[in-house]
């Protein structure tokens, strides 16, 4: 069974020259939690996606995989 990718957090972090460690520190989360988001093992809440988008200075939609 293939894991469905729902977010682009890992890609967007790389595009913005940021690390999961930086994001974890900014959000007050563990690096393990951010890593699980980056691998699409679990998904952050909409509120957390909003905070990630603010941290990266991007539109929240850039964090999601398009359905089209």
pLDDT band at 45 (very low <50, low <70, confident <90, very high): very high
For the stretch 9-34, pLDDT in tens is: 999 999 999 999 999 999 999 999 99
Question: Span 51-68, mean pLDDT?
Answer: 95
Considering only CA atoms, which of 63, 45, 67, 65 is closest in space to residue 55? Answer: 63
> What single string gives the DSSP state of each residue in 12-62?
HHHHTT--HHHHHHHHT--HHHHHHHHTTSS---HHHHHHHHHHHTS-GGG
pLDDT band at 1 (very low <50, low <70, confident <90, very high): low
Residue with tokens 């200075």: 57
């Amino acid at each position: 069974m293939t894991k469905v990718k729902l977010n682009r957090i890992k890609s967007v972090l790389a595009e913005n020259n940021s690390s999961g460690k930086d994001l974890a520190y900014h959000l007050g989360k563990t690096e393990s939690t951010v890593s699980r988001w980056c691998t699409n093992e679990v998904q952050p809440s909409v509120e957390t996606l909003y905070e990630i988008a603010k941290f990266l200075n991007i539109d929240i939609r850039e964090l999601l995989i398009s359905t089209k």
